[in-house]
Amino acid sequence: MLASSSRYRKELLDRLNIEFTVSIPEINEQHLQGESIEAYVERLSELKAEYTAHNKKDSLVIGSDQALECDKKILGKPANYENAIEQLSFMNNKVASFYTGLCVINTNTKKVVKNVTRFDVTFRKLTSAEIVSYISKEKPYDCAGSFKSEKMGISLLKSMNGDDPTSLIGLPLIKLAELLRNEGIDIP
């Protein structure tokens, strides 16, 4: 079971060619004062998985959450054009670190495994016109940091650094595949 409302996570999990259902967890996703970004995404991933795993049998439940940090500021989803322009302008010519939390719960054994994956991107020096053009074309209002690496957003970057490019999209498939294999799921 995938505990997420994200279409991006669903598309990523489809890549593993396994059967799954989607459950939309209803949790409070507010960042707690003083909470590190790593603790934040790990906590939300676990809350999503726990919400979905409650009273379920014979299931592996996957929870995931993502946030990004740039200049010690945590950025989430922009929700609208103005916020997207503000976010990309803020990250212009800077390094942004995406943190993706992952939690897998086996409802039979009650085993809980958590992980946080970091992936850094360096934005190139962008003009205001490039930012406006990108936001107008891509409309990344439902993406942390107003950025989609899997689409046109890749053109905004100078470099990328991390172990799992799918974590940048919202679900670290390399780690997830390992965790699912450890639970007996047949993934090559």
Angle of the 128-138 helix axis to the 81-91 helix axis, nearest 10: 140
Given a contact cutoff of 8 angstroms between Cβ atoms, the answer to whether 171 and 96 are in contact is no
CA 161 to chain centre: 16
Give the residue numbers annotated as catalytic, written as ranges: 65
Given a contact cutoff of 8 angstroms between Cβ atoms, the answer to whether 2 and 22 are in contact is yes
The Cα 85–Cα 12 span in angstroms is 27
Given a contact cutoff of 8 angstroms between Cβ atoms, the answer to whether 145 and 98 are in contact is yes
Quick one: which of 168, 11, 184, 185 has its CA closest to 96? 168
